[in-house]
Structure 1
Amino acid sequence: MSFVRFENVGKIYKSGDVEVRALHGVTFEIEKGEVCVVVGQSGAGKTTLLNILGGMDVLTEGNVILDGRDISSLSTKQMATYRRLDIGFVFQFYNLIPNLTALENVEIASQLSKNPLNSEKVIAAVGLKDRMNNFPAQLSGGEQQRVAIARALAKNPKLLLCDEPTGALDYETGKSILKLLQEACKKSGMTVVIITHNSALTAMADRVVKIKNGTVASVKLNDNVVSVEEIEW
């Protein structure tokens, strides 16, 4: 059985009498340990899809199954536990707590988890061993994003969700962040979903899901996964 399954998922947002259909008939699967890149233009429905998978939004129709569990039927309380224990999030903006050091930002996340990784080891693994006692304001954008990734990894989640993780970074820094995500997936066997509008990033993925106008335009398996260093955009 697939690790992630979307089955005919639809999402309608209502504002007064107006209904906006953000997703309709979305069906695809992701296997455990894959890097899956979800690609599409702004407004295609990528972030809505990610928010439903991450338990931050509720679908209108269909089912979402993660690791054999139908998350679309969870109560509000169960959903909060699901977000806390099963999901790691990396966003375009780092959302670090400014008056905590890099290490403390990571430790906060690991305290939420049943089976966390060692915070200092994770900080070292993302290349910030010498910066762990710095505050976010003392770190570059790329370093802050590395802290955000370390924070997500320290939870030891079943699934790592990344929403335009390089969007606020320059080209070289963005590449180093994507390389870090690719390597983290390989080393730990973690399943990683990256949302992007940049179709060049599909070369780094095991699976590519193209979203267009709120539905799945195509799902492709990549027989020739390329290391991030070799990708140009």
Structure 2
Amino acid sequence: MDNSYIRFENVVKQYNMGEVPIKAVDGADFTIDKGKFTIIVGPSGAGKTTVLNMLGGMDVCTSGTIVVDDVLVSDFNRKQLTMYRRYDIGFVFQFYNLIQNLTAKENVELAAQICKDPMDALDALDIVGLSHRVNNFPAQLSGGEQQRVAIARAIAKNPKILLCDEPTGALDYVTGKQILKILQDMARKKGITVVVITHNSAICPMADRVIHIRNGKADRIDENPNPTDIEDIEW
């Protein structure tokens, strides 16, 4: 019996460009364990973001099955997908998507208002090291600080899964490593299932599992029994 927390089984996502079918994901098979840090890596156009969008309930698969916590997410209707995104998924993107006329605390509180069992906004900001910035507006924060607010907003929902799409893409090297450290700690210390999409294969040693996506398939899956601390990785 497979005890994996997330399962993709022969998942296909097909788009039709006029009369030409394009398979962004073409029979992807992989599993992700609960409370682990997983990296999905691959070149641009390989299908990584499409995989993330289907896992996060922002897109639906054309065929195949997606199972999360023993629930068949790929069978959800639109309303069920909305509830799934609201209650179960925390999202962190390359761009922070903060509301400019709200403070850091208010941005986090906004997300907490839509879920069942939210974390206190100040506690979430403390976890990401921003206790001293709670009353600042996004324009008063650096890029790294804004991304920390975005992470606090995501974890304040107490999500089952934290999905991160190129979360350090807009940040400098040092700040990017600080953000990755926070995400690694989310899995190690908080037991959140963290999935990071990246094209930067240098950070793969920090993950418990690395899923290499190529041409819409899980081309290779690597296990790291002893993941490297992000502080010890150079690129």
When the two structures are superposed, what TM-score results if normalisation uses the length of structure 2?
Answer: 0.98
Could you give the per-residue CA deviations for residues 142-189 of structure 1, whole angstroms, max 9, x where no partner exists?
Answer: 000000000000000000000000000000000000001001111110
Q: What SS is found at the alignment partner of 2:163? A: strand
SS in 1 for 2:86: helix
Structure 2 matches for 1:1-16, cutoff 5 A? 1-16=3-18
Match of 1:46 in 2: 48
Which residues of structure 2 form unaligned runs of 5+?
none
Separation in 2, partners of 1:190, 1:24: 28
Q: Which segment is superposed worse, 98-107 or 10-19?
A: 10-19
Matched residue, 1:134: 136
SS at 1:133's partner residue? coil
Structure 1 stretches of 5 or more lacking a match? Answer: none
Q: State the SS of the aligned residue for 1:28.
A: strand
User: Partner residue of 2:148?
Assistant: 146
Question: 2-side partners of 1:218 and 1:38: how far apart?
Answer: 10
Query: Per-residue deviation at 1:15?
Result: 2.4
Partner of 1:172: 174
- Alignment partners' CA distance in 2, 1:204 and 1:146: 19
Paired residue type of 2:148: R
> Within 1, Cα distance between the matches of 2:134 and 2:70?
37
**After the TM superposition, which parts of structure 1 deviate over 2 Å for at least 4 consecutive aligned residues?**
none
Which amino acid in structure 1 is aligned with residue 217 of structure 2? T
Deviation at 1:211, TM superposition (A): 0.4
Q: Does 1:70 align with 2:72?
A: yes
Deviations 1:99-127 (A, max 9, x none): 10000000011111101111101101111
Give me the TM-score of the superposition, normalised by structure 1. 0.99
Q: Please state if 1:81 is matched with 2:87.
A: no
Of 9-18 and 186-195, deviating more is 9-18
From 96, 109, 112, give the equivalent of 1:110. Answer: 112
